Amino acid sequence: MTMFLPSLLRSATSTSRSTIRSKLPQITPLRFQSTSQGSLVLRRLQDALEEYRSANYSRELPSRFKKDIVIAAQTFSAGTVASSVVVTHGLNQVLENINLQDKVSAQDVDVLFAELGEGTGAIPVDVMMEIL
């Protein structure tokens, strides 16, 4: 999986790609290999979003869709895009708005955030971009 880091989502301090890549092995989706429930939830989220993307964003690049999902989740999380994390409420609201809450439940999102957020209930934006 290639890493996508749009300038829109970079922090105010210009972070180099190598710096971000050096941090990713600690927080990549590989952590889901330890629990089958976490990997199932991640796959279900990815499949649901891909189905929605192919039906509604077919003329856009997949990266545009990812950015839009993350920006919307950030906005619902903090009321602004300035936040560097996505919280469970933000992703749940996006899933509800695009009618995917029946495919990925709030409990599924809680499992995902418990594993990737290391108990904080928040996932950094760069990690969210990576897993989508």
The pair of structure tokens assigned to 65 is 């869709």
Q: What is the pLDDT of residue 38?
A: 79
Helix (H, G, I), strand (E, B) or coil at 86: strand
pLDDT over threshold 70, residue 67: yes
Q: What is the pLDDT of residue 81?
A: 55
How would residue 80 be classed by pLDDT, with cut points 50, 70 and 90?
Answer: low
Average pLDDT on 15-30 reads 45
CA angle 57, 63, 66 (to 5 degrees): 75
Quote the pTM value: 0.69
Cα maximum dimension of the chain: 39
Q: What is the pLDDT of residue 21?
A: 45
Q: What is the pLDDT of residue 79?
A: 64
How would residue 20 be classed by pLDDT, with cut points 50, 70 and 90?
Answer: very low
